[in-house]
Amino acid sequence: MQQTINGLASGSIYALLGLGVTLIWGVLHVLTFTHAQVLTWGAFGSLIAINRGYPVPVAILVGMAVAAGLSVLIDSTVLEMLRRRGASEYAFVVATIGLAFMLESILRNRTRARVEPYSRDGFPRGPIELLGQNVPKLQLAVLATSLIAMAGLAIWLNHTRAGRGMKAVAYSPETATLLGINPRFIYAVAYTVSGMLAALAGVFVAVSTASVSYSSGDRLLLTAFAVIILGGMGSVPGAVVGGLILGVIEVYATVHVSSKFSEVVAYLVILVVLLVRPSGLFGAKEATRV
């Protein structure tokens, strides 16, 4: 029971990241290797706000703004230039890998590679009695906040003009333009939302370790990729379900096999899904085959 909650809590962080990656893949067909850095920059944004004495909700919003701003900046500069010249898929991958290295290097130098303390004041602390189990309040808060954010995203995608516009652009940028939707605006919206979700995940990671460093998000990049492969690339419900499933599988691997084995679970998930069902749980078939 406690272990399932552990799995769902870490899984909800994976889902937040996976959602950001899958949104961008769905809309732009770009796999962003910068996503872990966006998370870390967002966490540092909130850290600065906390250290300046702002209340926690404001600090989280600051972190989201930093991450969203960074994401949009990346998109409107480097990625926009690549789009204009009709660059091929690998060029986006290589360019975002390069950007990720630059972003990490900047943070690493700014912090002298130190691990910065991240104050937990104002965040939920201590355990709460639930179904006869002591469950950390923080974990419940992470789980609840993530689920609310995901539900909000789903409603927004299906019931607002911008959300529906995003779906239209994902389907075909040309058709969307004919419908009077500006794809560049939609791209910016997608990057904003994806950055905000990443920052939320970053804050959760920082709080649960009471620290943040330039490398806080590193392990999560490939985990996010595993989430979207499992859920189906471009699928929003797939990212949520995939993230939660992956979190639970990792914990069960620790319990029933060994914690060493849980290290490779995410990578094995990528390989197994590619071999067995490349479209993932919710993915569209046509996108997967040549």
Partner 1 sequence: MIARRVVGALAALMLVTTACGSDDDSSSSSADDENPAASEPVEESAEADDTASTADGASADSDAEPSEATVVRVGVPLDLSGPAAISNIGLSELSAMELALEEVTASGMLGETTIEMIPIDTKGDKQEAVAGVLKLIEQDDVDAIVGFTLTPSFLAAGPQAVEAGLPVIAVGVAAPGITEVGDNVFRIIPQVSSLYAANDAMIAETLGATSAAYLYTSDSETTVGIHEARLAALEDAGIETKSVQSNTTADTDFRAQLTEIQNSGADIMVISGFPGQFAGQFLQAEEIGLDIPVLSTDGSGRNEVLDQAGSAMQCVIYTASWAAQNETGRNPHFVEAVQTELDDEADLYYAAGYDGMWMFSTALADAGSADPDAIVEALNNITDFEGAFGVYEYDDNREPDISGINLQIQDNEVIPWTPDTQCER
Partner 2 sequence: MFEWIPAYQRFLLDVTLIDIILVISLLILFQCGLFSMATAGFAAIGGYTSALLVTDADWPVPLGILAAVFVGATLAVSFGLPVLRLRGIYLALGSLALAQVIVIGIANVGFTNGVFGISGIPTEVTTGWLVAIVAVILLVMELIHRSHFGRAMKAIRLDEHTAAGLGINVFAYRMATFGIGGAMAAMAGALEAHRTAVISPDQYDFGLLVVLLTYMFVGGVEHWLGPVLATIGFRILNENLEFAGTDWENFYYGSILVVVMLLAPDGLTSRRFTQRLARIFRRRPDLAT
Q: Where on the chain is the footprint of partner 1 (CB under 8 A)?
A: 2-3, 6-7, 9-10, 36, 100, 104, 108-109, 112-115, 117-118, 120, 125-127, 134, 136, 138-139, 205, 208-211, 213-216, 218-219, 221-222, 250-251, 254-255, 258-260, 262-263
In the bound state with partner 1, the residue whose beta carbon lies nearer, of 120 and 167, is: 120
- 31 makes contact with partner 2 (CB under 8 A): yes
Residue 224 C-alpha from the chain's centroid: 6
CB 63 within 8 Å of CB 51: no
Which CA distances in Å does 287 have to 29, 33, 157, 278, 280?
Answer: 10, 20, 21, 10, 11
- 284 makes contact with partner 2 (CB under 8 A): no
Residues in Cβ contact with 193 at an 8 Å cutoff, skipping those fewer than 6 apart: 20, 23, 68, 153
180 binds, among partner 1, partner 2, none (CB under 5 to 8 A by kind): none
In the bound state with partner 1, the residue whose beta carbon lies nearer, of 14 and 191, is: 14
If one counts every other C-beta atom within 10 angstroms of the C-beta of residue 115, the result is: 14
User: Which of 78, 141, 154, 281 touches partner 2 (CB under 8 A)?
Assistant: 78
Comparing CA positions, the residue from 5, 16, 9 lying closest to residue 227 is: 16
- 102 makes contact with partner 2 (CB under 8 A): yes
In the bound state with partner 1, the residue whose beta carbon lies nearer, of 156 and 252, is: 252
Part in contact with partner 2 (CB under 8 A); list of ranges 46-54, 141-149, 152-160, 222-230: 222-230
- 259 makes contact with partner 2 (CB under 8 A): no
9 binds, among partner 1, partner 2, none (CB under 5 to 8 A by kind): partner 1
Comparing CA positions, the residue from 100, 102, 103, 139 lying closest to residue 123 is: 139
Tokens 């009695």: give the residue.
129
Comparing CA positions, the residue from 221, 224, 254 lying closest to residue 240 is: 224
- 115 makes contact with partner 2 (CB under 8 A): no
